[in-house]
A and B are shown apart, each in its own frame.
Chain A
Amino acid sequence: MSASDVLLWGVLPYVVVAVLVVGTIWRYRYDKFGWTTRSSELYESRLLRIGSPLFHFGLLVVVIGHVIGLLIPRSWTSAVGLSPTAYHVQALTLGGVAGFCTLVGVGILVYRRRTTGPVFSATTRNDKSMYVVLVAALVAGLATTLLGAMGGDEHDYRETVSPWFRSLFVLQPDVARMADAGLAFHIHTLIGMALFAIWPFTRLVHAFTAPLNYLFRPYIVYRSRATGPAARPRRRGWEDVGSR
């Protein structure tokens, strides 16, 4: 266990979490107006209607797969009678298919973004760098899955990455275990951390405001006008002095 291992797997994750949390709070407080999907469906919808659901639904399955794989210990799945082989097969199949869909989806979207004139000119530098990290994370993730499928059991992340991931939450990072994981996992994890670090500063923030509340609120929303001039926030130096 070298110093770089400690830095990468013991320190960096917390830095990333700090950037993610503080960055998100900062963005929410100071850039609510910029907090949007920045949809380009108005310009082009033929490719979007294939690519976007493919990417997003694929990604949702991938996220669920990560949650199961990282958070649920091997002992639990064994306890419910799922043999390691069976688990491995279903994880690889489901993860592989979902990952493939996501990658194809993002491929279509990037192609669309590059070839449709209005969409391309609405693409910012921020978007471009975000796409690089996002696609890299997807490719690296899919690669680890495929390597796992071909290479067998020696790279079983449930003995290395997952315990390390869980140990992060109890502030006792199990650096040694993570250092034992294969190179593919190291690369995928690093790119993943990069993705989370830039997350609050890109359009990806829209994922944090997924409108699940829509299922529960009444259809028609009523809101009161801010009552009169008094309800407007005072500019600094213009606060009320209690004379009214």
Chain B
Amino acid sequence: MRVMAQMGMVMNLDKCIGCHTCSVTCKQAWTNRSGVEYVWFNNVETRPGQGYPRRYQDQERWRGGWVRNRRGRLQLRAGGRFRKLLTIFANPVLPNIRDYYEPWTYDYETLTDAPLGDDFPVAQPKSLLSGEPLAVEWSANWDDDLGGAPEHGPLDPIVQRLRSESEEKVRFDYERAFMFFLPRICEHCLNPSCVASCPSGAMYKRTEDGIVLVDQDRCRGWRMCVTGCPYKKVYFNHRTGKAEKCTFCYPRVEVGLPTVCSETCVGRLRYLGLFLYDADRVTAAASVPDEHDLYAAQLDLLLDPDDPEVIAAARREGIAEDWLEHARRSPVYRLAKEYRVALPLHPEFRTMPMVWYIPPLSPVVDRLVETGHDGESAPNLFGAIDALRIPVEYLAELFTAGDPAPVTEVLRKLAAMRSFMRDVTLGREIDESIPAAVGMDAEQIIEMYRLLAIAKYDERYVIPTAYEGEAHQLEELGCSLDVDGGPGMGGLGPFGEASGRSVPVSVETFHALRVRQTSEDVADPGVRGARVNLLNWDGKGRPPGLFPPPREAPGEPGDVTARGSAPDGSAGTAAPEDRR
């Protein structure tokens, strides 16, 4: 077992109202530069819809992520190392800028400079790439809120798959349409295929917190990462010629602040925290034969931070104590592993993504009420899950590689929580059978409710700082004190005073204090290494040993700067007060 820590995120889709605040603030913080106009580290897609970039989920076309080959081993879907190097001069599956959208601005100058005339001047859209006038035809969320769904909706790769597999489950006529929002950032996968695709080795996963980053000084612009990422969350900066991606706001996370998207989320639907996972088993988990087992395998990688064995192993790996403490309080671990209500996005890509989603339930209650039922009673809710407007099959294609069982399980838990908590709130008698029906107990349901409904800032974002774990180094205890007579012992280095390593101030203070507190005698300046602790000096009088002993014949009575030493070294204890 090799324990590693991973920063993770959970998003509660029930609460997402599709306001795009996360996208906008992220863009303001990170990609408001030329060259990355089209880049959205965070984007919010309306599902069903094509997503961003268009139809990125269709891996038959874009060839991202991993596949399990006939020998049962993982290989990059876009091809192995040799194939990558052979196609390096023209990547055959790189999305074109039009698969994202051609960034544009408006010719605002016309509005003020146009000559007086009968017609109102118009600010024409102009391409930011070529400067030419441009007909705006697509953007990062062109099909937002099902805009143009009858036309664009059927192009959703999941809709296509569902339609080919079974009778038409997904409809786009107004009465039967459904939608929900899916905010997406980089998944910071445990088995990142973008990192594996990078020929220069510029992309890496941080050992401390698992954040996947691009070293801008080592990236050479070979563009293989863009192909490698099945979520298309690595972007190519067309001005600098370097890859850029979501950084999980690492400069913020390192000091304990949540990511910008989480911080500004209006619905407060994002949770941040630590996972502990077993790095040795990642490849095995990602190569299980049946795609439906991938969710379970991924869950199995996450280690229980309360397990003494895990804690011991984590300490052996040098994970700091406060990180372990944060892992024990992690909201993402609780949602993903304890309550099992958070699911990974597209586990079938075999990258072991670490941004998890609680699938949406909401429309069901209104629907039940409309049809004259009690929308929040448990049996009604449980029964309605199969008839949800958002088909379970659609959610399953997103979150569990098409296996409806885990999604139904999650939705039943959310329904149970809703029904159970109504009884609590209304002061009715608590029905223990409701939690039991979904394999939980009343206490767990209440805890889960707390976390999902009212958790405050510091409960939603449990982020260990990068520096607290190293704080002991700031206290200078990194230096060895063990060696007798060594540099820490207030003695001399091997080649006289000031030789050897410099003694940290705290070590010096520690020993001086110890000597002072435990020795019988007052400090003797004749003894090398003895010190007077000026911190304890109240400024009155002169503590013994503050000054070296006077010369045999002091030049002037008050000349305390006169330096000298008694030849026999015995005058050291003479109190300066005597000379007044």
Contact = CB atoms under 8 A, between A and B. Distances in A.
A76 interface: no
Given A38-B221, A121-B131, A214-B201, A43 B473 contact: no
Interface stretch (B78-86, B404-412, B553-561): B78-86
A215 B81 contact: yes
A41 B223 contact: yes
Contacts of A126: none
A189 B476 CA distance: 62
Interface stretch (A8-16, A46-54, A83-91, A145-153): A46-54
A191 B20 CA distance: 55
Interface residues of B, number: 58
Interface residues of A, number: 47
Interface in B202-260: 203-209, 215-223, 236, 238-242, 254
Nearest to B190: A220
Interface string A112-123: 000001101110
Nearest to B191: A220
Contacts of A212: 85
Contacts of B466: 225, 228
Contacts of A121: 129-131
Given A42-B94, A45-B96, A211-B220, A222 B207 contact: yes
B205 A221 contact: yes
Interface stretch (B180-188, B192-200, B571-579): B192-200
Interface string A28-45: 000011011111111111
A225 B204 CA distance: 10
A117 B216 contact: no
A41 B90 contact: yes
A42 B220 CA distance: 15
Which DSSP category, helix, strand, loop or mixed, fits chain A's interface? Answer: loop
Nearest to A60: B89
Given A225-B207, A227-B470, A57 B97 contact: no
B94 A219 contact: no
A242 interface: yes
A215 B204 CA distance: 17
A45 B201 contact: no
A148 B82 CA distance: 36
A5 B239 CA distance: 44
Interface string A129-156: 0000000000000000000000000000
Contact of A49 (B92, B127, B205, B236): B92
A30 to B, nearest CB: 11
Nearest to A28: B217
A118 B130 contact: yes
Interface in B537-570: none
B108 interface: no
Contacts of A228: 466-467, 470, 473
B535 interface: no
Contacts of B476: 244
A174 B478 CA distance: 62
A42 B96 contact: yes
Interface in A195-244: 206, 209, 211-215, 217, 219-225, 227-230, 242-244
Given A39-B241, A211-B220, A228-B473, A223 B207 contact: yes
A66 interface: no
B91 A37 contact: no
B502 interface: yes
Interface in A89-110: none
A128 interface: no
B222 A37 contact: yes
Contacts of B131: 117, 121
Q: Which are the 5 A-B pairs with shortest beta-carbon distances?
A: A117-B130, A211-B199, A118-B129, A219-B196, A36-B241
Interface of B: 81-82, 84-85, 88-92, 94-97, 127, 129-132, 191-192, 195-196, 198-201, 203-209, 215-223, 236, 238-242, 254, 466-467, 470, 473-474, 476, 502, 504-505
Interface of A: 32-33, 35-45, 48-49, 52-53, 55-57, 117-118, 120-122, 206, 209, 211-215, 217, 219-225, 227-230, 242-244
5 contacts: A118-B129, A211-B222, A221-B201, A225-B207, A242-B502
Given A38-B221, A43-B238, A117-B129, 13 more contacts: A36-B241, A37-B221, A45-B96, A117-B131, A118-B97, A206-B220, A214-B81, A220-B195, A220-B205, A221-B203, A223-B207, A224-B207, A244-B476
